[in-house]
Amino acid sequence: MPTSLPSPKIAPRQRFADAHPSDKGRRDWRERTGTYAIRGIIAVLSAGVFAGCQPTAAKPPVAKTVEVVVAKSEQREVTDYEDFTGTLEAFKKIEITSRVTGYLDKVNFKEGGLVSKGQVLFEIDPRPAKAELDKADAAVVQAEAKHHRLQGDYQRAQTLMASRARAISSEEFERIAGELAEAKAAVGVANASRKSAQLNFDYTKVLAPIDGRAGRTMLNEGNLIKADETVLTMVVTQDPIYAYFDVDERTLLKLRRLTNDGNLQKSNTGHVRVGLALADEEGFPHVGEIDFEDNYIDPATGTQRLRGVFDNKDGLFAHGMFVRIRFQVGQSHRAVVVPEEGVGTDQGQKFVYVVDAKDEIEYRKIKTGPLDKGWRVVDDGLAAGERIVVSGIQRVRPMMKVDPRDNKEPPAKKARETPVNLPKDAK
CA atoms 308, 112, 316, 116: torsion sign: negative
The amino acid that residue 42 corresponds to is I
Statement: residue 26 has pLDDT above 80? no
336-372 confidence digits (pLDDT tens)? 999 988 899 888 899 999 999 888 999 999 998 888 7
**Residue 269 or residue 277, greater confidence:** 277
What is the DSSP secondary structure assignment for residue 393, as one 8-state letter? G
Statement: residue 414 has pLDDT above 70? no
* Confidence at 424, pLDDT banded by 50, 70, 90: very low
Q: Are 360 and 402 in contact (CB under 8 A)?
A: yes
Alpha helices in 77-169 (DSSP H): 127-162
Say how far apart CA 175 and CA 161 lie, in whole Å.
13
The CATH code belonging to domain 67-77+333-406 is: 2.40.420.20
Residue-level pLDDT at 265: 63
Residue-level pLDDT at 329: 76
Say how far apart CA 409 and CA 69 lie, in whole Å.
10
Say how far apart CA 336 and CA 332 lie, in whole Å.
13
Q: CA gyration radius for the chain?
A: 53
List, in sequence order, every residue forming a beta bridge with 353; answer none if it has no partner: 363
Statement: residue 62 has pLDDT above 60? no
Residue-level pLDDT at 4: 47
- Dump strand ranges (E) for 216-271: 224-225, 231-236, 241-248
| Run of H or E residues at 421 | none
Domain 127-203 has CATH 1.10.12: no
Statement: residue 17 has pLDDT above 50? no
How far is the CA of 405 from the CAs of 72, 154, 180, 343, in angstroms? 11, 115, 109, 18
* Arch. (CATH architecture) of 82-90+238-328: Beta Barrel (2.40)
**Residue 66 or residue 183, greater confidence:** 183
Cα angle value 408/412/415 (rounded, 5°): 160
The distance of Cα 360 from the centroid of its chain, to the nearest Å, equals: 42
List, in sequence order, every residue forming a beta bridge with 93; answer none if it has no partner: 236
Say how far apart CA 115 and CA 131 lie, in whole Å.
31
Long-range contacts of 23-30 (CB under 8 A, 24+ apart): none
Q: Are 388 and 73 in contact (CB under 8 A)?
A: yes
Q: Which of 141, 158, 148, 156 is nearest to 180 (CA)?
A: 148
User: What SS3 class is residue 306?
Assistant: strand
The distance of Cα 180 from the centroid of its chain, to the nearest Å, equals: 73
Q: What is the domain partition of the chain in residue ranges?
A: 67-77+333-406, 82-90+238-328, 98-124+209-236, 127-203
Q: Are 64 and 198 in contact (CB under 8 A)?
A: no
Find the range with the poorest average confidence among 144-148, 165-169, 306-310, 351-355: 165-169
Q: For residue 224, how many other CB atoms are within 10 A of its CB?
A: 11
Residue-level pLDDT at 119: 94
Q: Which of 232, 235, 225 is nearest to 107 (CA)?
A: 232
Statement: residue 321 has pLDDT above 60? yes
CATH class of the domain comprising 98-124+209-236: mainly beta
User: What SS3 class is residue 195?
Assistant: helix
373-401 confidence digits (pLDDT tens)? 778 889 898 989 999 999 888 888 899 98
Find the range with the poorest average confidence among 37-51, 284-298, 372-386: 37-51
131-141 confidence digits (pLDDT tens)? 999 999 999 99
Cα angle value 318/240/427 (rounded, 5°): 125
Cα angle value 68/69/74 (rounded, 5°): 135
Say how far apart CA 368 and CA 345 lie, in whole Å.
11
List, in sequence order, every residue forming a beta bridge with 326; answer none if it has no partner: 83, 275
Residue-level pLDDT at 58: 55
